[in-house]
Amino acid sequence: MLYSIKMRASQKDRHISGAERIVEKADIDATVGELTTRAVQHSLGCADFINLKIETVSQEDIQYLEALPVSERFADSIEESYAIMGTLLAETGVKNPQQIVKLLQNVKPMRGAALYDISTQTRIEDDPQRGIRVTYMDAEGSTAGTEKNHFREALILATKVANAPGILAEICLSDDPEYVTGYFASKKHGYVRLSPLKNSGDTHGGRIFIIDNSRNIARATIAYLENKKVLVRNLPAGRHATASPEEHFRQQLQELKAADFFRSVRTIDSQQSSTVTMNGKEILMLSSNSYLDLAADPQVKAAAAQAALTWGAGSGGSRLTTGTMTLHTDLERLLAQFKRKESALLYNTGYMANVGSISALADKNSVIFSDEYNHASIIDGCRLSSGKTVIFKHNDMHDLERKIKSHPCSCGIIVSDAVFSMDGDIANLPEIVRLGRAYNLLTMVDEAHATGVIGNCGKGIAEYYDYQYEPDIIMGTLSKALGAEGGFICAGRNIIEYLINKSRSFIFSTAQAPATLGAALAALRILTDEPQRVRHLQENIKYFCSCLQEQGLQINSPTAIIPIPVGSEKTAVQISQELLNAGCLIPAIRYPTVPRGTARLRVALMATHAERQLRRAAELIAAAVRKYS
């Protein structure tokens, strides 16, 4: 005896999830568990009503079917996918493939499928509001898991449909807005995956079963689809079973492209400075983090070369084994002084500094209070720690305090970007420090985009607030205003010693190379000795914002990061490309770096940009924004 188990879940009367299985008695518990979990963890929300129906199914009533063979026809565009669908339909003997494709594109939302008869060229299902619901089907002996696996469920259904009397073919488009892959299935062609069939975000979906009803068999077909118990054998293994494991990634890329989230690297064929060359063409660089242009500074470059000649190309070991050179300890001493802390610790990148320090400092008793717009490296540090992360609204100190009160803890950290990397605004350090003191929490700021940029002498957020409020821990990078590479943490001696002992990205990395350290040391000396460079940058920021305002864009920023809001991912990419054609490099910033639908152009200024360059750029940006809005 087998058991059919059906689950339907809804939330406030809205259907959110349905699934069915046919399992052995021993698997009833596990299956009910899986289906229930699926209903309460659904991406549309937790179900508030779950209907489970369990019926016996006798072994003799079951028909076993071989899974349709699976193939893939992934195209470059939606039009191309539908053209392939049309060709496949024509190959099954359909006379009017275009009309049927249109029907799928326009079919009203239904729980079931439309039944299209080619002999009369009409839909013949009894209830066109509901359609034909195929049910009583599963794969033999495999578990489905707690998440919807579109491919698995679709292949089971398509196999049953293709074997129903009189059915010539089936076409399907998911109604899941994020699922842009659909299929064509027939006995002759097997199950042919088609992608992309729609843009991400599109909730339209449907199924059409194509039948030749010239001999009036539709009754039997519908009875088969609705009542016959079917178990499908030899379903391809794996969650995204495809022709080869790599195909899975090709499909994922396809989906990124369809949603305008695809990214690729862009190559510059010169040093990083206020102008660069790309494909042999001179381009105005308006998005570099080398805010003081120190990556291209002659003294910094010479120091890097000299350090390599004196100290060698690599460090040869991790910091705790053989990799620490005088260069490392000199730089740590200077960084600590620069940030007015007892000690400092170098990491190979800013990312590693955040990940390695936060994950080490927060243990299972800790609560990390993290701004919702914090950089990915902070988020990853929180994820990697065994502490609890509580996210507060961006720079909202009331929300932070409310959350601190509702999460009492023996040991907690408030962590925030000092300058937010995608918005260019500055954290409310006075309140963060006050709350840290009041509730006995550590405070930490990430000064990646603050060092060399804000404060009279570019010393960062503490200087910006006149040293009235100093956080316990300052994270910074050597790779932005300082023009080299690497990250660091400045803090009290005990915290730094603790990190030396516990911070895994510090412990298990080869120490930074001499050239990097030589460059950073020289850059830090320049920043200390020549604060006028910072002033140039700050003047450029004011000037550029005033140019944008003259052009009618109400944009202002207290930092070198100046976001120009666009909204749509596609438009942001188009504007960015148009500006590049005009000789300005300003990338489009999109999800997942920023929330969906808040795509933007992110301008970053340098101290060495000339006023005429900034004026011209502001004109080009305003023109491009006008053109697309």
Asked if residue 200 binds ligand WAQ (CB under 6 A), the reply is no
Site string for ligand WAQ, 79-118 (x = CB under 6 A): -------------------------------x-xx-----
CA distances from 14 to 9, 18, 42, 49 (A): 9, 12, 13, 10
Q: Which of 176, 247, 380, 578 binds Mg ion (CB under 5 A)?
A: 176
Q: What is the DSSP string of 23-58?
A: EEGGGHHHHHHHHHHHHHT-TT---SEEEEEEEEE-
The distance of closest approach from Cβ of residue 98 to ligand WAQ in the complex, given in angstroms and rounded to an integer, is: 21
d(CA 309, CA 314): 11
Which range of residues in 81-89, 133-141, 168-176, 254-262 is near Mg ion by CB under 5 A? 168-176
The distance of closest approach from Cβ of residue 159 to ligand WAQ in the complex, given in angstroms and rounded to an integer, is: 12
Tell me the residue number closest to ligand WAQ, measured at CB.
174
Q: What is the dihedral of CA 139, 145, 149, 154, to 10 degrees?
A: 20
The distance of closest approach from Cβ of residue 207 to ligand WAQ in the complex, given in angstroms and rounded to an integer, is: 4
Alpha helices in 415-531 (DSSP H): 429-438, 461-464, 493-502, 504-507, 514-529
Q: What is the DSSP string of 88-131?
A: HHHHTT-S-HHHHHHHHHHPPP-SSBEEEETTTTEE--S-TTT-
- The gap between the terminal CA atoms of the chain, to the nearest Å, is 64
In terms of C-beta density within 10 A (0-12 exposed, 13-18 middle, 19 or more buried), how is residue 411 classed?
middle
Site string for Mg ion, 121-160 (x = CB under 5 A): ----------------------------------------
State both tokens at 212: 């030749």
Active-site hit among 339, 480, 536, 609: 480
Pick 149 or 574: Cβ nearer ligand WAQ: 149
Q: Is the dihedral of CA 328, 333, 335, 341 positive or negative?
A: positive
Work out what residue 469 binds among Mg ion, ligand WAQ, none; the CB cut-off runs from 5 to 8 Å by kind.
Answer: none
- Cis bond before residue 196 (omega within 30° of 0): yes
Q: Name the one residue in this structure whose structure tokens are 């369990």.
A: 54
Q: Which of 8, 21, 38, 207 binds ligand WAQ (CB under 6 A)?
A: 207
Buried b (16+ CB within 10 A) or exposed e, 340-376: ebebbbbbbbbbbbbbbbbbbbbeeebbbbbbebbbe
Provide the 8-state DSSP code for 286. Answer: -
Q: Name the one residue in this structure whose structure tokens are 């053209």.
A: 83
Work out what residue 133 binds among Mg ion, ligand WAQ, none; the CB cut-off runs from 5 to 8 Å by kind.
Answer: ligand WAQ
Residues 6+ apart with CB under 8 A from 105: 82, 173, 204
Pick 242 or 370: Cβ nearer ligand WAQ: 242
Asked if residue 292 binds ligand WAQ (CB under 6 A), the reply is no
* Active site (annotated) includes residue 187: no
Pick 94 or 157: Cβ nearer ligand WAQ: 157
Active-site hit among 274, 421, 479, 509: 421
CA distances from 158 to 165, 242, 286, 546, 560 (A): 13, 16, 52, 61, 56
Asked if residue 206 binds ligand WAQ (CB under 6 A), the reply is yes
The distance of closest approach from Cβ of residue 152 to ligand WAQ in the complex, given in angstroms and rounded to an integer, is: 9
> Whose CA is closest to 439, among 412, 474, 470, 462?
412
Which range of residues in 127-135, 329-337, 366-374, 454-462 is near ligand WAQ by CB under 6 A? 127-135
* Active site (annotated) includes residue 244: no
Which range of residues in 146-154, 253-261, 369-377, 489-497 is near ligand WAQ by CB under 6 A? 146-154
The distance of closest approach from Cβ of residue 393 to ligand WAQ in the complex, given in angstroms and rounded to an integer, is: 34
Asked if residue 255 binds Mg ion (CB under 5 A), the reply is no
Pick 78 or 547: Cβ nearer ligand WAQ: 78
Pick 110 or 361: Cβ nearer ligand WAQ: 110
Active-site hit among 449, 459, 536, 609: 449
State both tokens at 95: 């006379």
Which range of residues in 54-62, 170-178, 332-340, 530-538 is near Mg ion by CB under 5 A? 170-178
Work out what residue 619 binds among Mg ion, ligand WAQ, none; the CB cut-off runs from 5 to 8 Å by kind.
Answer: none
How many residues touch ligand WAQ (CB under 6 A)?
Answer: 23
Work out what residue 151 binds among Mg ion, ligand WAQ, none; the CB cut-off runs from 5 to 8 Å by kind.
Answer: ligand WAQ
Asked if residue 175 binds Mg ion (CB under 5 A), the reply is yes
* Amino acid letter for position 493: R
Pick 35 or 601: Cβ nearer ligand WAQ: 35
Pick 246 or 529: Cβ nearer ligand WAQ: 246
Pick 232 or 419: Cβ nearer ligand WAQ: 232
Near ligand WAQ in 169-188, by CB under 6 A: 172, 174-176, 179, 181-183
Q: Is 148 helix (H, G, I), strand (E, B) or coil?
A: coil
Pick 68 or 336: Cβ nearer ligand WAQ: 68
* Active site (annotated) includes residue 42: no
Q: Which of 21, 38, 160, 193 binds ligand WAQ (CB under 6 A)?
A: 193
Q: Which helix (H) or strand (E) holds 66?
A: strand 62-66
Q: What is the DSSP string of 552-614?
A: T-----SSSEEEEEEE-HHHHHHHHHHHHHTTEE--EE-TTTS-TT-EEEEEE--TT--HHHH
> Whose CA is closest to 478, among 331, 377, 341?
331
d(CA 472, CA 461): 13
The distance of closest approach from Cβ of residue 133 to ligand WAQ in the complex, given in angstroms and rounded to an integer, is: 5
The distance of closest approach from Cβ of residue 158 to ligand WAQ in the complex, given in angstroms and rounded to an integer, is: 8
Q: What is the DSSP string of 314-380?
A: ---SBIIIII--HHHHHHHHHHHHHTT-SEEEEESSHHHHHHHHHHHH--TTEEEEEETT--HHHHH
Pick 80 or 176: Cβ nearer Mg ion: 176
Pick 173 or 432: Cβ nearer ligand WAQ: 173
Near Mg ion in 13-52, by CB under 5 A: none
Q: Which of 82, 116, 136, 151 binds ligand WAQ (CB under 6 A)?
A: 151
Contact positions vs Mg ion (CB under 5 A): 175-176
Contact positions vs ligand WAQ (CB under 6 A): 110, 112-113, 131-134, 150-151, 154, 157, 172, 174-176, 179, 181-183, 193, 205-207
Kindly list the catalytic residues. 421, 449, 480
